[in-house]
């Protein structure tokens, strides 16, 4: 990712947000997808992002996680005061960002456990902690699997390979539970889950909630938000946050759909204007 911006490495204090996104613009293959996103997430908060298909929710999540081939064309992102966009994806994870993928990737030949232990130890090493040995790791994993009601058989299977949709989503949350990120971004982790699985996933997410962690949950449905109650709900449309509100907003969206937010978009930040900023 081309990135020439350099910033003083700052440290977070109690008043500065954990994540600060300022006028973030990004394009894929020269097509602008994110067109000026502003968002502040403080430690301890849960933010929900909703919005129609193709509005840029996943793109936003991946730009935060550091996927290649997204061209950040403007704006900046600070994570605990540090320039997130200048970091490699692995360093973002080590700093405490975790993205639960909307479509988790299958990796045949790499066992779930080997993978997760390599990840955990890479993160621990980065933070100056001792690496976990196999015994301690298995104990940790055993606990988390139990908490999430996961089939122990999934442990030794290759990462996501041949997993059902639900198993994949659960595996994302399981990884999150083991890696204990400071900021978890859940991209439609609730989609395709039955109500029982949804409860389990929500429980896993809630068990991570603490005053020094935050969650961004991308979802189309209010039902997840019954279990993971958000502090803020944002509507993303056409690459911009066109409306933000409290948890009631999610209910309103569920009732009325996104159509009415079009007005908000028009009266809010017109797309034309976003285009002007880029030039």
Partner 1 sequence: MAHVIQDESLYLSNYRELERSLGASEPAWLRRLREESIQTFTELGFPTTREEDWKYTNLAPVSAIPFQSAASESVAHGHPTLEDLESVLWVGSSHLVFVNGHYSEALSCIDGLPEGVKVRTLSAALEGEGDLQEHFARYAQRRRHALVALNTALWQDGAYVRIAKGTVLEKPIHLLFVSSSGGTPVGSPTRQSARWGAPVVSHPRILIVAERDTQSTFIESYFGYGGGVSFSNAVTEIVAGESSVIDHYKIQVENSESFHLATIQALQERSSSFATCSIALGARLARTEVGAVLDGEGADCTLNGLYLATDNQHVDNYTTVDHARPHGSSHQFYKGILDGQANAVFNGRIIVRQDAQKTDAIQKNKNLLLSEDAVVNTKPQLEIFANDVRCTHGATIGQIDPEALYYLRSRGIGRNEARTLLSYAFAGEILDGIRLAPIRVCLEGSLHARLADDISSHGGTELQS
Shortest distance in whole angstroms from residue 268 CB to partner 1: 32
Contact set with partner 1 (CB under 8 A): 1, 65-68, 88-90, 92-94, 98-99, 101, 104-110, 114-116, 118-120, 122-123, 126, 158-159, 175, 179
Shortest distance in whole angstroms from residue 193 CB to ligand ATP: 15
Shortest distance in whole angstroms from residue 105 CB to partner 1: 4
- The answer to whether the beta carbons of residues 117 and 104 sit under 8 Å apart is no
Q: Does 261 bind ligand ATP (CB under 6 A)?
A: no
Residue with tokens 């997760």: 116
Q: Which is nearer to Mg ion, 56 or 230 (CB)?
A: 56
Q: Does 11 bind ligand ATP (CB under 6 A)?
A: no
Residues 34-93 that bind ligand ATP (CB under 6 A): 51, 53-59
Q: Does 55 bind Mg ion (CB under 5 A)?
A: no
Beta strands in 116-180 (DSSP E): 158-159
Shortest distance in whole angstroms from residue 142 CB to ligand ATP: 33
For residues 239 and 245, what is the distance between their CA atoms, to the nearest angstrom? 18
Distance of CA 29 to the CA centre of its chain: 23
Q: Does 219 bind Mg ion (CB under 5 A)?
A: no
Q: Does 58 bind Mg ion (CB under 5 A)?
A: yes
> Could you give the 3-state DSSP secondary structure of residue 239?
coil
Shortest distance in whole angstroms from residue 114 CB to partner 1: 8
Helix crossing, 134-147 with 195-208: angle to 10°? 130
Q: What are phi and psi of 45, to 5 degrees?
A: -95, 155
Q: Which is nearer to partner 1, 153 or 211 (CB)?
A: 153
- The answer to whether the beta carbons of residues 87 and 6 sit under 8 Å apart is no
Q: Out of ligand ATP, Mg ion, partner 1, none, which partner does residue 28 contact, by CB within 5 to 8 A per kind?
A: ligand ATP
Q: Looking only at Cα atoms, what is the longest distance across the chain?
A: 58
Q: Which is nearer to partner 1, 175 or 238 (CB)?
A: 175
Q: Which contiguous run of DSSP H or E holds residue 258?
A: none
222's tokens: 């209010």
Shortest distance in whole angstroms from residue 176 CB to partner 1: 10
Q: Out of Mg ion, ligand ATP, partner 1, none, which partner does residue 53 contact, by CB within 5 to 8 A per kind?
A: ligand ATP
- The answer to whether the beta carbons of residues 74 and 3 sit under 8 Å apart is no
Site string for Mg ion, 88-107 (x = CB under 5 A): --------------x-----
- The answer to whether the beta carbons of residues 260 and 235 sit under 8 Å apart is no
b (16+ CB within 10 A) / e for 157-170: bbbbeebeebbbbb
Give the interface with Mg ion as residue ranges (CB under 5 A): 57-58, 102
Give the interface with ligand ATP as residue ranges (CB under 6 A): 28-29, 33, 51, 53-59, 102
């Amino acid at each position: 990712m081309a990135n020439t911006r350099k910033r003083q490495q700052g440290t977070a204090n109690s008043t500065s947000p954990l994540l600060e996104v300022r006028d973030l613009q990004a394009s894929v293959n020269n097509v602008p997808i994110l067109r000026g996103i502003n968002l502040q997430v403080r430690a301890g908060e849960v933010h929900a992002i909703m919005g129609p298909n193709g509005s840029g929710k996943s793109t936003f999540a991946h730009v935060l996680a550091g996927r290649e081939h997204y061209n950040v064309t403007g704006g900046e992102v600070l994570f605990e005061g540090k320039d997130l966009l200048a970091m490699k994806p692995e360093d973002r994870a080590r700093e405490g960002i975790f993205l639960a993928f909307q479509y988790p990737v299958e990796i045949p030949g790499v066992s779930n456990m080997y993978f997760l232990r390599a990840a955990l130890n890479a993160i621990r090493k980065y933070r100056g902690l001792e690496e976990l040995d196999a015994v301690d790791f298995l104990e940790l994993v055993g606990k988390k699997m139990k908490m999430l009601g996961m089939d122990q058989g999934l442990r030794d299977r290759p990462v996501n390979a041949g997993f059902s949709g639900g198993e994949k989503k659960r595996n994302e949350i399981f990884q999150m539970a083991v890696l204990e990120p400071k900021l978890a971004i859940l991209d439609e982790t609730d989609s395709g889950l039955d109500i029982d699985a949804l409860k389990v996933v929500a429980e896993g997410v809630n068990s991570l909630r603490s005053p020094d962690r935050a969650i961004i949950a991308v979802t189309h449905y209010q039902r997840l938000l019954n279990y993971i109650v958000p502090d803020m709900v944002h509507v993303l449309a056409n690459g911009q946050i066109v409306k933000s509100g409290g948890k009631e907003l999610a209910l309103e969206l569920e009732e009325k759909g996104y159509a009415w937010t079009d007005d908000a978009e028009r009266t809010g930040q017109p797309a034309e204007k976003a285009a002007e900023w880029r030039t």
